[in-house]
Structure 1
Amino acid sequence: MITWKSKLDSLIRLAVERSSVTNEVRIGQGLLSDVGVVARKVTSSPKALVVADARGFDAAGPAVVAALRDEGFSADTLILPADPLPVASVGEAEPIRATLAADAGIFPVSVGSGVINDCVKYAAFRTDRRYMAVATAASMDGYTSAGASLARDGFKVTIPTRAPVAMIADLDVITAAPPEMNAWGYGDLAGKVPAGGDWILAETMGAEPIDELAWSLVQEDLAVWLEGPEGIASGDKDAIARLFTGLTAVGFAMEAHGSSRPASGAEHQIAHLWEMQGLEHNGRKVPHGAAVAVGCVASLALFDWILEQDFDGFDVPATLDAAPGLDAREAELARAIHEPRTAAMARIELRAKHVERDIHEIRLNRLRSNWRAVRKRLETQLVRREDMVSKLRRAGAPVSAAEIGVSPRHLLETLRAAAFIRRRYTIFDFLHDIGSTEAAIASVVPRLAGVSALEVRK
């Protein structure tokens, strides 16, 4: 059986060797005391700034500060409040950037999970310096990536930055994190299943070829990383270590590819749209991984619908004749997205990916000629919606829109709007290309929401 330790010794070590930025990754128990030693290896600065929110600092901050001081660093702290939770935005990162900009000798150390890591990563990049990440939960895949997923002017984007020079994950800390945080990480990792399907569709239609190195880092062992989901809910150290190792591999895949394509597809478009809308449930911001888990289930439902179709006799001329032009697509966008700033940015994305009839025809002919092989490849890659629902439930992650405060009507509107916010080719663009967006959405939303089609429209 493949163990997370064997993959740490092979896959992750090789990824570090290939990385142009990250020099060291340590995953194991009792590693907080290593922070100072590792920091001393990767920086000559005498000053460290530990950045965390209050919850992350409580989990690991004092030990990190002590380890840095033991190695001769002067270690100051910048602690953000945890209630309300920090927001993944350029605005939230600005005070960190300003603090770093005021002193070129500061070496930043992020202590936390997704939002804190991305904010520090962005601030370090903007002030042209390296940083170190200390993980406190297996809640997302961005620790080792070269992008910061932040809202800028209200629009969620992945901003090119630099990966950390070093990353430490103490499994004692990560296992002790609130179970729901690690469940969110399981949801984020589960999203790589339909994201892989999206990339297969993109390659099939000639929109974007698969990068074999990045693909293998994410997909080759994905089924192994997702094994034993009940261990995530129960706090089993091996299960959580396996999850974290998989998330780390995904981060390196994004760095190697130069974008988030290996890790992000339609499921993230759904999640990012909700994040841009400021989605809250029970008075709390819905976490990224929770939104991705629900987006993953929705995306897999759309893939299930596609796999039920027969494209061998697909009518290419009729589909081309019925396809809306760019003006009509922009009108669809205006009906789907009402917030002005989001709509303006989405319009840029739509124009970047819109193709005229000649390219559209090439895509459809490729599909008709290759559908049987593509179907087989998709069936190998994907997990059926009901099977993924079972895995996510056992991990403790949400699976339905209602669990994160999204009504059936809101879900319908989301699936119509999400296609417009990224130029990346996903199942949404495939459905547009085959002229079946409304048919597919109308079929899956009632099943996802557990209501009748009539109730969805209320």
Structure 2
Amino acid sequence: MSNPTIERALAAASETKGFISGSGCRADVPQIFQQYFPGVTALIVADDNTFRVAGQDVYERLQAAKIPTEQPFIFPGTPVLHSEYRHIEALRERLKPLANVIPIAVGSGTINDMVKRTVYELDRRYMVVATAASVDGYSSFGAPVVQGGFKKTMECPAPLVIVADIEILRNAPADMTAAGYADLMSKITAGADWIIADALGITPIRPDIWEMIQPPLRGWVTAPEKLAAGDDEAFSMLFEGLSMTGFAMQAMRDSRPASGSEHLFSHIWDMQDHRDASGSNVSHGFQVGIGMLGVTALMETVFRRDIRALNIDARCQQWPSWEAREAEIRQAFAGMPIVDRVLIESRMKYLEASDLRARLHLVAGIWDELGQRVTAQIFPYPILRQKLQVAGCPFAPDQIRLTREQMKQTCLMAQMIRNRYTILDLAYELGWLEECANEIASSSRYFS
């Protein structure tokens, strides 16, 4: 059955040309593979877990359809597999001499990302059979990969074809589905950040991209209780929403449509190798979910303030020189190899006092309207918290072993790390960021 929303998105996307979703659609993989990759050999890439869940089935169906297949390439399922460059090198060495072989990634974020980068290095394409509605990375360009101990997003195109069998997604571990829900919900605050950047003339909203995500977003996340109940339609909507955000990033060639200040919180925790109480890494979705709570609290706190109380002259006089700001950044990221990159990003968005003055006058002139737009975009904090709870996500920082002080420090550090204008930058330029972070940390509304 055709999906007009997906069809329009595929027309706008630059890399993905096929999207097949439905209950039992893994049975169509042989036909789909022949359609998009005629006359070539298939190689299943999975880990022990995803091969058991779907890879074996897909492999046997390819063989039954007389499609040439290589012996599957299977990564160990334990310990938990991470997207590390050494795994990409191993897969690349397997594929390199096999010029007529196209991989089929069977897995979720990690397997997809590693195959995505591998085929880019070999100038090939691939298809993916999703095993969990856990990330928006299936359909996005680029892949986060750990190399030399540091996570960075590496260039690579999205898959040519995505297959999402709802039966498989429905049976995925509940925490993976919950992580996908939180990741999709984070597009709410990402949209609010884009509204702010647009209003200040920094990053104009592209209406075609905005329409791909924001109008249907509330429908995609409206019923988390149905996910918990295993409802097929809810899983279909979740995967559609995650995929649409990836298609939007493809069309724009930028992650702005799907990533705002909540993702900057997550990046800080990745840099710090933050772990939960069991010593395990916290999933990306759960990190951005808690980041979204922090950002929502900040947006509410900032826009409750009266802009008329701001003394623009005094703020401009207090504005630190770049040399002073550099010293603050070096102190905040002392001992972290990422500090040089952070300095580059912060320097690109640093304003001289005269430019700050002009921006603050602009902000003051549109304050009420901007506050109304942002408030209309976000979920009120209690509702957001409840939705995350119902979906099975962490809904308080301490559930992923974060204290009030850590949340406050994350808020300050996250503002420094990327040249992408968000609520963090607005609050910093107003001179309110640290004050608001302290207010949130001491508030019973946000920390009960």
**Same topology, TM > 0.5:** yes
Rounded to whole Å, the distance in 2 between the matches of 1:35 and 1:295 is: 37
Rounded to whole Å, the distance in 1 between the matches of 2:188 and 2:120 is: 30
Rounded to whole Å, the distance in 1 between the matches of 2:378 and 2:416 is: 24
SS at match of 1:206: coil
Per-residue displacement from partner, 1:372-396 (whole Å, max 9, x unpaired)?
Answer: 2211211211111111000000000
Task: Evaluate the alpha carbon distance shift between residue 316 and residue 268 of structure 1 in structure 2; reply closer, same or farther with a 3 A threshold.
Answer: same
Matches for 1:247-262 after TM superposition, within 5 Å? 247-262=242-257
1:91 to partner: Cα distance:
3.9
Amino acid at match of 2:356: H
Rounded to whole Å, the distance in 1 between the matches of 2:161 and 2:447 is: 48
Gaps of 5+ in 2: none
1:49 to partner: Cα distance:
2.0
Task: Evaluate the alpha carbon distance shift between residue 424 and residue 57 of structure 1 in structure 2; reply closer, same or farther with a 3 A threshold.
Answer: same
SS at match of 1:17: helix
User: In structure 1, what is the equivalent of residue 51 of structure 2?
Assistant: 57
Per-residue displacement from partner, 1:314-351 (whole Å, max 9, x unpaired)?
Answer: 43222222122222222222222234312222222212
1:161 aligns with 2:156: yes
Matches for 1:250-399 after TM superposition, within 5 Å? 250-281=245-276, 282-312=278-308, 314-399=310-395
1:111 to partner: Cα distance:
0.9
- Which segment is superposed worse, 351-360 or 114-123? 351-360
Matches for 1:64-79 after TM superposition, within 5 Å? 64-69=58-63, 70-79=65-74
Amino acid at match of 2:220: W
Rounded to whole Å, the distance in 1 between the matches of 2:148 and 2:20 is: 36
1:158 to partner: Cα distance:
3.0
User: In structure 1, what is the equivalent of residue 17 of structure 2?
Assistant: 23
Give me the TM-score of the superposition, normalised by structure 2. 0.94
Task: Evaluate the alpha carbon distance shift between residue 280 and residue 128 of structure 1 in structure 2; reply closer, same or farther with a 3 A threshold.
Answer: same
Whether the 8 Å contact between 1:206 and 1:363 is mirrored in structure 2 is no
1:98 to partner: Cα distance:
3.1
Give the superposed CA RMSD.
2.0
SS at match of 2:209: helix
1:152 to partner: Cα distance:
4.2
Rounded to whole Å, the distance in 2 between the matches of 1:104 and 1:60 is: 25
SS at match of 2:442: helix
Corresponding pairs, count: 446
Per-residue displacement from partner, 1:343-377 (whole Å, max 9, x unpaired)?
Answer: 22222221222222233233212211111221121
Per-residue displacement from partner, 1:69-125 (whole Å, max 9, x unpaired)?
Answer: 224121332222222212234344332233333433221111111111111111111
User: In structure 1, what is the equivalent of residue 135 of structure 2?
Assistant: 140
User: In structure 2, what is the equivalent of residue 208 of structure 1?
Assistant: 203
Percent identity over the alignment is: 35
User: In structure 1, what is the equivalent of residue 431 of structure 2?
Assistant: 435
Task: Evaluate the alpha carbon distance shift between residue 105 and residue 352 of structure 1 in structure 2; reply closer, same or farther with a 3 A threshold.
Answer: farther
Task: Evaluate the alpha carbon distance shift between residue 423 and residue 89 of structure 1 in structure 2; reply closer, same or farther with a 3 A threshold.
Answer: farther
Per-residue displacement from partner, 1:121-140 (whole Å, max 9, x unpaired)?
Answer: 11111211111111111101
1:203 to partner: Cα distance:
1.4
Whether the 8 Å contact between 1:51 and 1:108 is mirrored in structure 2 is yes
